[in-house]
Amino acid sequence: DIQLTQSPSALSASVGDRVTITCRASQSIREWLAWYQQKPGKAPKLLIHRASVLESGVPSRFSGSGSGTEFSLTISSLQPDDFATYYCQHYNNFLFTFGPGTKVDIK
Amino acid sequence: QVQLQESGPGLVRPSETLSLTCTVSGDSITSGHYYWGWIRQSPEKGLEWLGDVHHSGTTYHNPSLKSRVTMSVDTSKNQFSLNLGSVTAADTSVYYCARHYGSDFDFWGQGILVTVSS
């Protein structure tokens, strides 16, 4: 089975900072990676699919990149609404795997 | 806008069966190429996919749950359901239903906390 790891597991940042979160797969998954944002007490919200395709309505400060085994989610200028936990997710042949999450909080 | 809502008991006794229903509004459960999934989340295991069901009745489940998971669809009520058998305290989680489109889940329910305890 494919395993996903995320780094860092948590980070502190300020409004306006550029933030990058990394997700690594245990083997190549081409571009089959999605990113979600989750706030406390809420369901995850899909931000990006196919590694770099922004979901409709998601602010353009979010971007995704990567392929193969290394992927990143970048927030170009962190906003107050962005403090949350972010998860990567892979799908292959009816098996979904989620990463352990990266918590972004206020410095 | 598609909306999903989980319902079911918040407390289940050990060794019994956890049963949840997801009601879909804003879209027909039979439309498009969608599957309808269940995901749970706990501090110990994080986010864990349990399984997917198609309106045709086709199901896929996480092999780690072996044969404990069954899923079904009620197209007349625009609902789908999850049964998880032989539960233990380790099955205590927030359970989400969600729409599976392509390679991800694009719409989620708000989640329901299910506690396994005697």
DSSP for B45-112, please give it.
TEEEEEEEE-TTS-EEE-GGGTT-EEEEEETTTTEEEEEE-S--GGG-EEEEEEEEETTEEEEE---E
Q: Which two tokens stand for residue B72?
A: 């079904």
The pLDDT value recorded for residue B31 is 83
Whether the pLDDT of residue B66 is over 80: the answer is no
Whether the pLDDT of residue B35 is over 80: the answer is yes
Mean pLDDT value of segment B31-45: 93
Contact B47 A89 (CB under 8 A): yes
The pLDDT value recorded for residue A93 is 83
% of chain A surpassing 70 pLDDT: 100
Q: What average pLDDT does the structure give for chain A?
A: 96
Reported as a pLDDT band with limits 50, 70 and 90, residue B84 is very high
Whether the pLDDT of residue B32 is over 80: the answer is no
8 Å CB contact between B108 and B4:
yes
Structure confidence by residue, pLDDT tens digits, A57-75: 999 999 999 999 999 999 9
Mean pLDDT value of segment B55-62: 92
Question: What is d(CA B95, CA B115) in angstroms, rounded to the nearest whole number?
Answer: 10
Reported as a pLDDT band with limits 50, 70 and 90, residue A94 is confident
Structure confidence by residue, pLDDT tens digits, A29-47: 999 999 999 999 999 999 9
Contact B47 A98 (CB under 8 A): yes
Residues in chain A: 107
Mean pLDDT value of segment A69-94: 95
Q: With the C-alpha atoms ordered A43, A44, A49, A54, is the resulting torsion angle positive or negative?
A: positive
Please indicate if any CB of chain A lies within 8 Å of the CB of B2: no
Structure confidence by residue, pLDDT tens digits, B107-117: 999 999 999 99
The pLDDT value recorded for residue B33 is 83
Structure confidence by residue, pLDDT tens digits, B12-25: 999 999 999 999 99
Structure confidence by residue, pLDDT tens digits, A7-16: 999 999 999 9
Within 19-78 of A, beta carbons closer than 8 Å to B belong to: 32, 34, 42-46, 49-50, 55
Q: In whole angstroms, how far apart are CA A68 and each of A15, A44, B26, B47?
A: 31, 24, 36, 22
Please indicate if any CB of chain A lies within 8 Å of the CB of B42: no
Query: Which amino acid is present at B113?
Result: L
% of chain B surpassing 70 pLDDT: 100
- Using alpha carbons, select from A107, A35, A26, A30 the residue that is nearest to residue A74: A35
Mean pLDDT value of segment B64-91: 95
Chain B residues with beta carbon closer than 8 angstroms to that of A91: 103-104
Question: What is d(CA A103, CA B116) in angstroms, rounded to the nearest whole number?
Answer: 27
8 Å CB contact between A5 and A97:
no
